[in-house]
Chains A and B, each alone.
Chain A
Amino acid sequence: MKLNSPLQVYKYLPKINCGKCGEKTCMAFASRLVDRSKKIEDCQILLQDKEKFLQLAELLAPEIREITAGVGDRKVRIGGDDVLHRHQLTFFNPTVLAYDVWDTMEEVALIERVKKISEFKKFYVGHYLKLDMIAVRSTGESAAKFKSCVEKVTEVSTLPVMLCSFDPTVLKAGLEVCADKKPVLYAATKDNWEQVSKLALEYHVPVVLFSEGDLDSLKTLAVSFNRLGINDIILDPGTYPEGAQLKSTFENFIKLRRAGIKESQKEIAYPIMAAPITAWMIDNDPTPTSYLEAALASIFMIKYADIMLLHSIEPHALLSEVYMRETMYTDPRTPLKVDSGVYKIGNPTKDSPVITTSNFALTYYTVESDLSSGRIDCYLASVNTDGIGVEAAVAGRQFTAAKIKETFDEAGFDFKEKTSHNTIILPGLAARLQGDLEDVMGIKVLIGPVDSNQIPGWMDKNWL
């Protein structure tokens, strides 16, 4: 993004404050463009001035090109970043996680693996963390074998696919059965680039350029492809799994991203791909290798892979991978919160407990899932703590007796009418609010355990 202050962007806007974009003023819209929470197409008036529109679009385009793969619901965006450090804005488009299958797999095993990849999910602060892509790897047996494997995979799963082979005839065979699903081609090299570039043009699909540890030839490929009119490019500088080669891999990722963002070298400002799967080239012992692979995944998710090719689908590897991605890609500008209010969990009656917690999304959903899975019917009040967790909010005084009262008042929750016990339960970490809360609300206050996963056990002992 060449423009980073709302004032600079404002110059290009119609300055008539018509409000059609949903913002009160053009200036407000300008700041939404800078933080990328609105799109330039949202200003209908600007759309009519083609020249200005294009100029601004160019100036607001992300430094790293953003490309898409796949179609439908599970379509993915790759790249599109504007900063080197997440606190400077946020990272966009979470690293796309692709897991491999290979064309010599028995059909039953293949289908099972594809389903596991497609169906994996882990609940985390209000949504499910999932995997994104299936990479079909040619073992070199034959193009026909590859083709039927791709066919099977796209039949069983709606996830986007990556077609992996250095042999253009194999890639072509794969494209023949799934080009309409916008797969990613892996990969063009110095040896096969002529044929692979033709495939990319003919089928209009994104293509990965691979060069083993050599950034000169990677750039050579990128510049040449660009001149051929191919811009949906992903760069794979090679991921070496260990030793001094790993060090140079790490450095290559930083060099590429720095060139793209800090030095605005457009010829090389494309998304980057890492392949922690190469851990399996040095060892086949599943447990240590899955650790090494997950370790490489963490490292390159932090520095700066936009898409990643992996092998292990053991839960311990998958969980750490989807969590690390979430960590790096949550928007540091806004705490994740839920609306404050009083929610029903299960089917509460007058005898059911009333429980309080904060409106920090992580806290709320943790507590909610503990209550639901413990089958506790209750009212759960999410107090407006500005999206701060219980412990930090008690320390920072966003979780106070007054705030708790406010939540119940605003929800129109009357203890006399809704409960038979006139009692409220506080988180263990908010014990110090007990006295205040009794005074302010005139109700009985019980102190729950420290961790919400202990609530079910605690209820057995402390609730009638």
Chain B
Amino acid sequence: MSKELTLAEVIELLNNVEVEALEGVTFEGDIEIEIDESVMNFREEANKLIESRFAVGTVNEWTTAIEEVTIGATPANGGSRGHAVTVGGEKALPYYFDSEMKNPTCVVAIDVFDMPIQLAKSVRTSYEDVMESPSDWAKKVVSEYHADMIALHLISTDPKRKDASASEASKTVEDVLQAVDVPIIISGSGTHKKDPEVLEKAAEVSEGERCLIASANPDNDYERVAAAANKYGHVLLSWTQLEINAQKELNRKLIKHCGVSRDRIVMDPTTAALGYGLDYAYSNVERIRLAGLTGDKELNFPTLSVSSNAWNAREAWMISSPLKEDSNWGEREHRGLIWEAATGFALALAGCELFMMMHPGSAQLLKKITRMLGGSINEEKTDLSNWITKLII
């Protein structure tokens, strides 16, 4: 069945389906066109702008501040650190204008391992000369790479590596505390069975230094780890794996059953590398942060990201693409540096304030940019008027 249409009907049809333009169409005959009056009116006085003011509100739902947690104790507080760092305290998403950030930057801890470990080439070149000595390694990251803190990983205790004893490992903790005066994170080997014992001993030898003990998690004897942190005056890392409810539950247990005080908990909800689960990690951290700000007292703690696992991403370490169809991947030195920093940027905006990182350049870049967002770096002003022609490249 065919049907003839009038122009008015055609226009109505087009309106219905939001067609904006017709291509390759010709009409024959006379055409009458109706023009919207408001457009006509304005056309006449189109030599004037309609002055308007922009306004937007703040978010009322953000009622609750993130807990402030201090890591490291100076002599005045019974420790020997040259300075302490404080994270948390914010009442809005990171760098938002809704409320001033109390501690307006993210803190970077650079990783130090207690024995030589396989590292991506672009990272290894920075540490090759100090890998045999954890205290030299620690000194180097502080004096040359300006780490705010160090994260000491006692991986030698792993039964599959050296199976070093808890007391051997705690000797390294003492050496490192001697070598540098920044606050430190003490991390086990990730072996659920052995870590509690290792961390307990490490907590004991570092009594009063207010270290961050990593970690209590649902799969290890977290009660024992928590008890050690409490007894020797440390802060505890509450680590779960990409699951908001698991994080809530562990935090609750640490507070209620283990008596950890609220100003001594940092969370690690697990973060993943750019391209390898960062999408999940970003949203998980963001949801946790929003829950905390809107009043969930089991989730309003500062958050740590192990951004150094960006080095697991093959885009960070491989020399070139394994696929011939891919465009050139360029130099891995540059690629890896950006990979770790970009992973960090995303998580810094999601709600992490404490970072474990490995590449000195990545750490610098993350710190520089977040400091600007936090308002603590005032560079020279850039003039953008006529930037299109002023930009000489």
Contacts and interface: CB of A to CB of B under 8 A. Distances in A.
A332 B283 contact: yes
Contact of A123 (B97, B326, B375): B326
B300 to A, nearest CB: 17
A241 B382 contact: yes
Q: By CB atoms of chain A within 10 A, which of B54, B275, B283, B330 has the most? A: B54
Given A123-B325, A324-B342, A216 B47 contact: no
A282 B368 CA distance: 15
A223 B388 contact: no
Nearest to B341: A295
Contacts of A277: 391
Interface string A41-84: 10000010010011001000000000000000000000000000
Contacts of A215: 54
Contact of A291 (B276, B321, B365, B387): B365
B384 A212 contact: yes
Interface stretch (B15-23, B148-156, B196-204, B250-258): B15-23
Given A54-B16, A242-B379, A267 B393 contact: no
Given A166-B388, A228-B39, A242-B379, A268 B315 contact: no
Interface in A150-185: 164-166
Contacts of A41: 17
B387 A193 contact: no
B331 interface: yes
Contacts of B381: 243, 245
Contacts of A332: 279-280, 283
Contacts of B283: 85-87, 332
B265 interface: no
B311 interface: no
Q: By CB atoms of chain A within 10 A, which of B36, B42, B369 has the most? A: B369
Nearest to A329: B279
Contacts of A328: 279, 282
A389 to B, nearest CB: 8
Q: Identify whether the interface residues of A are mostly helix, strand, loop, or mixed.
A: helix
A295 B369 contact: yes
A421 interface: no
Interface string A214-248: 01101111111001110000000011111111110
Interface string B344-369: 01100100000000000100010001
Contacts of B345: 295, 298-299, 302
Contact of B46 (A194, A250, A262): A194
A377 B164 CA distance: 43
Given A193-B49, A227-B50, A121 B391 contact: no
A122 B279 CA distance: 18
A408 interface: no
A315 B342 contact: no
Contacts of B274: 320, 323-324, 327
Contacts of B325: 121, 123, 128
Contact of B372 (A221, A246, A319): A246
A453 to B, nearest CB: 7
A190 interface: yes
Given A299-B369, A332-B283, A245 B382 contact: yes
A122 B330 CA distance: 12
Interface in B278-300: 278-280, 282-283, 286-287, 290
A356 B322 CA distance: 20
A220 B51 contact: yes
Contacts of B21: 204
A87 B286 contact: yes
A311 B52 contact: no
A120 interface: yes
B56 A137 contact: no
Contact of A319 (B287, B335, B390): B335
B40 to A, nearest CB: 10
A292 B341 CA distance: 11
Interface string B1-26: 00000000000100011101100000
Contacts, number: 241
B382 A282 contact: yes
Interface residues of A, number: 105
Interface string B372-387: 1111011111101111
Contact of A219 (B42, B52, B57, B330): B52
A140 interface: yes
Chain B residues touching A, range: 35 or more
Interface string A120-144: 1111100010000000011110000
A362 B274 CA distance: 12
A338 B23 CA distance: 39
B162 interface: no
Contacts of A219: 52-54
A280 B290 contact: no
A319 B315 contact: yes
A244 B372 CA distance: 6
Interface in A310-341: 311, 314-320, 323-324, 326-328, 330, 332
Interface stretch (A8-16, A252-260, A398-406, A438-446): A252-260
Given A281-B390, A295-B341, A324-B346, A287 B322 contact: no
A139 B373 contact: no
Contacts of B372: 242-244, 246-247
Contacts of B277: 389
A436 interface: no
A316 B365 CA distance: 15
A284 interface: yes
A119 interface: yes
A316 B49 contact: no
A291 B329 contact: no
Given A87-B287, A220-B52, A259-B56, A212 B385 contact: yes
Nearest to A324: B342
A35 interface: no
Q: By CB atoms of chain A within 10 A, which of B277, B345, B385, B388 has the most? A: B388
A287 B95 contact: no
A320 B278 CA distance: 13
Contacts of B276: 362
B16 A53 contact: yes
B125 interface: no
A250 B337 CA distance: 23
B322 A453 contact: yes
Contacts of B46: 194, 197, 228
8 contacts: A85-B286, A123-B323, A164-B388, A194-B47, A219-B53, A245-B381, A254-B97, A281-B387
Interface of B: 12, 16-18, 20-21, 36, 38-39, 42-43, 46-47, 49-54, 56-57, 59, 95-97, 241, 274-280, 282-283, 286-287, 290, 314-315, 321-331, 334-335, 337-339, 341-342, 345-346, 349, 361, 365, 369, 372-375, 377-382, 384-393
Given A227-B42, A299-B349, 6 more contacts: A218-B54, A254-B97, A258-B56, A295-B369, A299-B345, A302-B282
Interface of A: 41, 47, 50, 53-54, 57, 85-87, 102, 119-124, 128, 137-140, 164-166, 186, 190, 193-194, 197, 204, 212-213, 215-216, 218-224, 227-229, 238-247, 250-251, 254-255, 258-259, 262-263, 265, 267-268, 275, 277-278, 280-282, 284, 287, 290-292, 294-296, 298-299, 302-303, 311, 314-320, 323-324, 326-328, 330, 332, 362, 369-370, 373, 389, 395, 453
